[in-house]
Amino acid sequence: MHLGVKSAGLEWYRMRYLLKCLECGKQYSMFFPRQLCDKCSGILEVTYSGKPVMTSLKKDFWSYEALLPDGEYRHYKLGNTTLLPATHPGLFLKLESENPTKSFKDRGSVVEIAKAIEYGYDEVVCASTGNMAYSVAYYAKLAGIRATIFVSKNANWLKIRNIRETRDANVIRVDGDFTEAQRRAIRYSRRKEAFLAGDYAYRKEGQKTLVCEIMAELPELRNVLVPVGNATLFGATYKALLELKGLGLMSKFPRLIAVQASLANPLVVAFKRKEKVKYQEPRTDAGAIAVGYPTYGGQAIEGIRATHGTAVDVTDDEMEEERVSFYRDYGLQVEMSGVAAIAAFRKMNLKGQSVAVVSGGNTLKP
Ligand SMILES: [Zn+2]
């Protein structure tokens, strides 16, 4: 049940940001307690009105609080993940598998849950292919609110079982893909007045911290390879670069390279054909990036073009091979999508320093 914005302490807030609908342009105050436009159900974007005070980049998640929407954050330990020089020259691996629930999703979940609490919700709902479910359930439990998760047919059952057992979340499996799970989550949020979490504005804000941490360590970085499902991380990375440039903390952008599975590559197709992103039924076994219609696909293409980047895809076999050699080289178990960016790096001839974002997730096989 949604109880409305807490009134205590409101005088401490300034209107530091607005929410703007990416579809119809309608603007909302920072106290608007939802993540979809009331008028057209479009997704909203956080737009800051003033510049935060920030003079340097650090490898520290909470040092970027000034780049996040106002919130009563509990400073959980997350982010600050290792940037590991890879065995391949010029490549560094950002090990997002070190986050509490093993993926970069935590960076966004911590912001979303803080906003849900601030707005007075006692339940969150989201759609997930698995990793986001675990992350949202984890932070909801820490905050003492309920989580309901709609998962796609292709979500890893082991992940779901773990969430049910350890995090008390209500997990509902949908007979359809991620896009169908997303529809169900939206309907549920309206019917039950639960806070809709997922690949929306607040998650995107939290995920900006990933590239900030990378740039703190590698200011001369030339290429960033980001795995793409819904393209939220990709959109967040581009937004962060623009904001850092606005603060005078960045002069030259690294090229942003979107990596998809060949069997779920609507962004790659749209980029190559210079068309709008169209739905495509995802057929890849890399569940965490099996998305048929990326929510932030349009923004991702804008980010690729603005940074002179590109979009590439890798086959399921290439990811599986990479996963096995990743385990052999680094002793770390990750899922197929977790190494998609490394597999893409191998196929490309990139100059200068490159970073591949490595995510974790649960895996059944060593
Ligand atoms: Zn709208």
pLDDT in tens, 297-346: 999 999 999 999 999 999 999 999 999 999 999 999 899 999 999 999 99
- Compute the distance from residue 271 Cα to the ligand 1 centre, in Å: 25
The confidence score (pLDDT) of residue 14 equals 56
For the segment 51-76, the average pLDDT, to the nearest whole number, is 90
- Compute the distance from residue 71 Cα to the ligand 1 centre, in Å: 24
Q: Torsion angle of alpha carbons 300, 266, 106, 335, nearest 10°?
A: -140
- Compute the distance from residue 12 Cα to the ligand 1 centre, in Å: 29
The confidence score (pLDDT) of residue 343 equals 97
For the segment 44-70, the average pLDDT, to the nearest whole number, is 90
Q: How far is 326 from 359, CA to CA, in rounded Å?
A: 12
Single-letter amino acid code for the residue at 66: A
Q: Give residue 13's Cα distance to chain centre.
A: 27
- Compute the distance from residue 81 Cα to the ligand 1 centre, in Å: 36
Among 349, 190, 357, which residue's Cα sits nearest to residue 288? Answer: 357
Q: Look over the chain and give the mean of its residue pLDDT values, rounded to a whole number.
A: 91
- Compute the distance from residue 299 Cα to the ligand 1 centre, in Å: 16
Lowest mean pLDDT among 119-128, 176-185, 279-288, 356-365: 356-365
Is 220 or 178 the better-scoring residue by pLDDT?
Answer: 220
- Compute the distance from residue 37 Cα to the ligand 1 centre, in Å: 5
- Compute the distance from residue 50 Cα to the ligand 1 centre, in Å: 23
Task: Kindly provide the b/e burial profile for residues 83-114, where b requires at least 16 CB atoms within 10 angstroms of the residue's own CB.
Answer: eeebeeeebbbbbbbbbbbbbbbbbbbbbbbb
Lowest mean pLDDT among 102-106, 181-185, 285-289: 285-289
DSSP string covering 90-157: TEEEEEGGGSTTSSTHHHHHHHHHHHHHHTT-SEEEEEESSHHHHHHHHHHHHHT-EEEEEE-TTS-H
Q: How far is 297 from 293, CA to CA, in rounded Å?
A: 8
Neighbouring CB atoms inside 10 A of 14's CB total 10
- Compute the distance from residue 337 Cα to the ligand 1 centre, in Å: 32
- Compute the distance from residue 29 Cα to the ligand 1 centre, in Å: 14
Residue 165 tokens, joined = 């057992």
- Compute the distance from residue 239 Cα to the ligand 1 centre, in Å: 20
For the segment 249-259, the average pLDDT, to the nearest whole number, is 95
The confidence score (pLDDT) of residue 44 equals 97
The confidence score (pLDDT) of residue 82 equals 96
For the segment 126-154, the average pLDDT, to the nearest whole number, is 90
Q: Is the pLDDT of residue 215 over 80?
A: yes
Q: Is the pLDDT of residue 7 over 60?
A: no
Task: List, for residues 11-37, the tens digit of each pLDDT value.
Answer: 334 578 999 999 999 999 999 999 999
- Compute the distance from residue 74 Cα to the ligand 1 centre, in Å: 31
- Compute the distance from residue 41 Cα to the ligand 1 centre, in Å: 6
Q: How far is 25 from 199, CA to CA, in rounded Å?
A: 19
